[in-house]
Homo-oligomer: A and B are copies of this chain.
Amino acid sequence: MDRRTEMRQIMRVKAGEALTVEDPVIREVPLTIYLNGQEFVTLLYTPELPEMLAAGFLRSEGLIKDSADIISLRFDEEQSFLFVETKGSNLAEKLYGKRTITSGCGKGTVFYSVLDALKSNPVQSDFSLTSEQVIQLMKKLQEKAELFRRTGGIHSAALCSHTEILYFCEDIGRHNAVDKLVGMCLRDKIEITDKVLATSGRISSEILVKTAKLGIPILISRAAPTTLSIELAENLGITLVGFVRGRRFNIYTNQERIILS
């Protein structure tokens, strides 16, 4: 049984006829992360790899730097609680709380991150891809996602080398999918700064900021970017490639990392 889906009885209407059938639906479940004994954040996620999600979230938000900062991860499945113990980062926790409050939050936007990111150092990396590699990586992402397409409504993301998908995730949340990838890299002590992030979803400023914070030099997507994500990619040294479909794609920023072959 796949933990990511659940069979539901639904009424299917087709050409005026109604049929009661069982249909797979993507699961969405709350996960409450406790950081060093304190309730920290509740995420809604597709229940797979909760430890990786928690570790990746803390890394993405800058609360830990690498796996050595994590003392333990414990998942209470019944309550869907995830307990993380980290090495004394009380200051970071206080700062994090403070920033969340003063800048406000709502509807998927924690805007302070954008401002933060603008001030941080641009990504510097000689990592590059040929145009053929861009096309093939997106093809591989779509083939993997195919397996799960039957439920609709899922985001897929992959962390890739020049030619291979190293880690693949699907989640109802675009951010969750990326954070799970990051968590797996932490666990396996794999460098993320010479990798490509490939995603099925749109590139809004939040995904761009997350990519920049992690130091990933190239971001490729099947979908569209926004103006703000293009501006941020320009300023933060990220190569942004969108609309990768078949043998076509658009390069929005820092095109020197894409070798036209």
Closest CB-CB distance, A207 to chain B, in whole Å? 11
Q: Which of chain B's residues has its CB closest to A21's CB? A: B250
Which residues of the partner chain B approach A248 to less than 8 Å between Cβ atoms?
12-15
Q: Taking the complex as formed, is A79 at the interface, i.e. its CB lies under 8 A from any CB of chain B?
A: no
Q: How many copies does the complex hold?
A: 2
Interface string of A49-92 (1 = CB under 8 A from B): 00000000100010000000000000000000000000000000
**B16, A57: Cβ atoms under 8 Å?**
no
**A153, B104: Cβ atoms under 8 Å?**
no
**A105, B44: Cβ atoms under 8 Å?**
no
Within 8 A of B (CB), among A115-144: 131, 134
Which residues of the partner chain B approach A111 to less than 8 Å between Cβ atoms?
30, 42-44
A225–B25 CA distance with the chains assembled, in angstroms: 7
**A224, B25: Cβ atoms under 8 Å?**
yes
Instruction: State which of A160-168, A169-177, A183-191 sits at the interface with chain B.
Output: A169-177
Known: A101-B101, A204-B172, A228-B28. Contact between A11 and B106, CB under 8 A? no
| Residue in contact with A41 in the complex, picked from B6, B97, B104, B205, CB distance below 8 Å | B104
Known: A15-B247, A250-B13. Contact between A153 and B26, CB under 8 A? no
Q: Taking the complex as formed, is A223 at the interface, i.e. its CB lies under 8 A from any CB of chain B?
A: yes
Q: Taking the complex as formed, is A257 at the interface, i.e. its CB lies under 8 A from any CB of chain B?
A: no
Q: Taking the complex as formed, is A229 at the interface, i.e. its CB lies under 8 A from any CB of chain B?
A: yes
**A152, B202: Cβ atoms under 8 Å?**
yes
Interface string of A237-261 (1 = CB under 8 A from B): 0000011000111111001001011
A202–B42 CA distance with the chains assembled, in angstroms: 20
**A13, B226: Cβ atoms under 8 Å?**
no
Which residues of the partner chain B approach A6 to less than 8 Å between Cβ atoms?
227
Known: A12-B250, A108-B107, A252-B10. Contact between A153 and B224, CB under 8 A? yes
A10–B13 CA distance with the chains assembled, in angstroms: 44
Which residues of the partner chain B approach A230 to less than 8 Å between Cβ atoms?
8, 25
| Residue in contact with A204 in the complex, picked from B14, B16, B44, CB distance below 8 Å | B44
A residues engaging B (CB < 8 A)?
A: 6, 8, 10-16, 18, 23, 25-30, 39-44, 57, 61, 97, 100-101, 103-111, 114, 131, 134, 151-154, 172-173, 175-176, 179, 202-206, 223-230, 242-243, 247-252, 255, 258, 260-261
Given A10-B252, A39-B104, A41-B106, 12 more A-B residue pairs with CB atoms under 8 Å apart are A8-B252, A12-B248, A15-B248, A16-B260, A26-B224, A26-B226, A27-B227, A28-B204, A43-B107, A105-B106, A108-B173, A151-B224
